[in-house]
Amino acid sequence: MPQSSLRDFANDESGATSIEYALIASIVSLVIIGGLTGVKAALIGIFDSVVAGFDKAK
């Protein structure tokens, strides 16, 4: 492999943008999953109280 081809390969950054976008998307998805996990207990409590309200109305 000629020296210039090796240098060109080392300086090629054409795939860097797609890798950066993939990393950003994975971080955002982890934040969303973490947030939903934290909200899960509150939502379960809300829905349980709604169900209990309907049980009292019978």
> SS in 3 state form for 1-58?
CCHHHHHHHHHCCCCHHHHHHHHHHHHHHHHHHHHHHHHHHHHHHHHHHHHHHHHHHC
| pLDDT tens-digit series, residues 42-55 | 999 999 999 999 98
pLDDT at res. 5: 84
Q: Give CA–CA dist 43/38, Å, rounded.
A: 10
Q: Give CA–CA dist 10/38, Å, rounded.
A: 44
| pLDDT tens-digit series, residues 1-38 | 567 888 887 777 777 788 899 999 999 999 999 999 88
